[in-house]
Amino acid sequence: MVETTGGEGDSRVEALRARLTRRDVIRGVAGTGIALSIAGFSRPGAHAQDASPTAGPPIKVAFVYVSPVGDLGWTWAHDQGRLALEQTLPNVETSYQESVPENPADAERVIRDFAQKGNQIVVTTSFGYMQPTINVAKDFPDTTFVHISGYMTAENVSTAFGKIEEPRYVSGLIAGKMTKSNQLGYVAAFPIPEVIRGINAFTLGVRKANPAATVKVVWTNTWFDPQKERQAADALLDGGADVITQHQDTAAPQQAAEARGAYGVGYDADMSPLAPKAVLTSPIWHWGVYYIDLVRQVQAGTWQSNQYWGGWKDGLVDLAPIAPMVPEDVRAMGETEAAKFRNGEQTIYTVFTGPLKDQSGEEKVPVGQAMTDEALLTMDWFVEGVEGDPTP
């Protein structure tokens, strides 16, 4: 574990700030507000004004990461958010610790340490940090804690997550058009609702574009083991899959696809540099949008505990550029669909609108009815077209 502290206030940061246009920041902040009113989560709206003080002591923000920042995956995406925070807001000091195990002892120690060091905001970026975050937060009532991807809140603990299913659905539309064997493979980490929702959204996209295609799921039961992820992808490729996507923290499944001349869909970050011949596109995160808004609220004193679930329209999630090997008509279709999500015409709720059947063909969501937040957040069944076991 390596701890690094990034400072602020020097001329370098000023220069970087200048590069980000004011419009970007305003769009991000305004988008967040709109999303919250759509999602119906409770939160005060008084945050759109620029309230960051330029004088006085810096606000200290600490991040707890589950894997190394260089993985071009989940943690990398959060670290990009941290950097965006430093570059956009004046007077912010950030620090982070990488590869913090999710066991209660290690996670609590690291979180407590950050709180004791006087960080006003501590962000914990993996599901397994949920209980440790709640535990530590009890002892530091004046510190703001944000737990990513969990469901437990407290007076000083918020949760935040994004609707990555929206770009996953569009990536599925593209993948469904690109498969020749009508067999797609999904290397998945753990059978939890977050991962199951992603698999379902991808499959709904695939089947919309190509009703004959199926998506086969293999569980690795690890977030980060490139060798296992690769073996899982190889097993899917041996089974006849010709497009591989994944919910893991490395690009190993895409690299396995490239080695076999198959296609892949990345995740977390634009993974095309790691497997340029395979990666069609990647559903990606822009955590900076959320982190900047969070710090502004804390600085302005308007922050209150909430459950944030941002979508494509808010700019929190996005789709990486579609690769050049995708034919023009498929690319146009993908971009048209992406635009519908960006302007809010389509959302996770339109993706998960009935009729939806489960694997056995039994109707789970009737025609015209959208799934509720609760049903989505506890989803434990696969839609029709997925091959695999949602409760292995």
Partner 1 sequence: MNDITSIAFLTSVLAAAIPAGTAILYACLGELLCERAGVLNLGVEGMMLMGALGGFAVAYHTEQAWLGAIAAFAVGGALASIHALLVVSLRANQVVSGLALTLFGSGLSAFLGRDLVGRPAPASFGKVAVPLLSDIPYLGSILFRQDALVYVSYGLVPLLWWFVFRTRPGLNLRALGENPATADAMGLNVAALRYGYVIAGGALAGVGGAAISLATNPGWSENMTAGRGWIAVALVIFGTWNPARAAFGAYLFGGVEAGQFRLQGAGVPISSFYLSMLPYLFTIAVLILASRETARRRIGAPAALGRPYVREERG
CB of 11 to partner 1, least distance (A): 25
Q: Which is nearer to partner 1, 188 or 348 (CB)?
A: 188
CB of 271 to partner 1, least distance (A): 9
Cα dihedral sign, 281-242-376-129: negative
Q: What are the tokens at 159?
A: 């949760």
Stretch that binds partner 1, among 122-130, 144-152, 274-282, 344-352 (CB under 8 A): 274-282
Q: Which of residues 129-158 bind partner 1 (CB under 8 A)?
A: none
Distance of CA 327 to the CA centre of its chain: 27
The DSSP element (H or E) to which 20 belongs, if any, is none
194 binding partner 1? (CB under 8 A): no
Residues 6+ apart with CB under 8 A from 231: none
Nearest CA to 47 among 276, 258, 250, 289? 289
Cα dihedral sign, 313-31-141-117: positive
Stretch that binds partner 1, among 15-23, 103-111, 138-146, 231-239 (CB under 8 A): 231-239
Q: Which of residues 286-345 bind partner 1 (CB under 8 A)?
A: none
Residue of 208, 228, 342, 364 that binds partner 1 (CB under 8 A): 228
Stretch that binds partner 1, among 33-41, 166-174, 310-318, 384-392 (CB under 8 A): 384-392
216 binding partner 1? (CB under 8 A): yes
Number of residues that bind partner 1 (CB under 8 A): 42
Q: Which is nearer to partner 1, 227 or 372 (CB)?
A: 227
CB of 135 to partner 1, least distance (A): 26
Instruction: Answer whether 59's CB lies under 8 Å from 91's CB.
Output: yes
Q: Which is nearer to partner 1, 266 or 311 (CB)?
A: 266
CB of 32 to partner 1, least distance (A): 29
354 binding partner 1? (CB under 8 A): no
184 binding partner 1? (CB under 8 A): no
User: Which phi and psi angles does 186 have, rounded to 5°?
Assistant: -130, 110
End-to-end CA distance of the chain: 32
Instruction: Answer whether 63's CB lies under 8 Å from 125's CB.
Output: yes
**How many residues would you count in the chain?**
392
Q: Which of residues 50-89 bind partner 1 (CB under 8 A)?
A: 67-68, 70-72, 76
Stretch that binds partner 1, among 55-63, 86-94, 107-115, 250-258 (CB under 8 A): 250-258
How far apart are alpha carbons 84 and 296 in whole angstroms?
13
- CA torsion angle 147 130 75 390 (round to 10): -120
The DSSP element (H or E) to which 16 belongs, if any, is helix 11-19
105 binding partner 1? (CB under 8 A): no
Residue 38 is given by DSSP the state H
225 binding partner 1? (CB under 8 A): yes
251 binding partner 1? (CB under 8 A): yes
CB of 256 to partner 1, least distance (A): 8
179 binding partner 1? (CB under 8 A): no
The DSSP element (H or E) to which 64 belongs, if any, is strand 59-64
Instruction: Answer whether 138's CB lies under 8 Å from 145's CB.
Output: no
In the complex, the residues that contact partner 1 under the rule CB under 8 A are: 2, 67-68, 70-72, 76, 99, 191, 216, 218-222, 224-228, 230-232, 234-236, 238-240, 250-252, 255, 259, 273-276, 387-389, 392
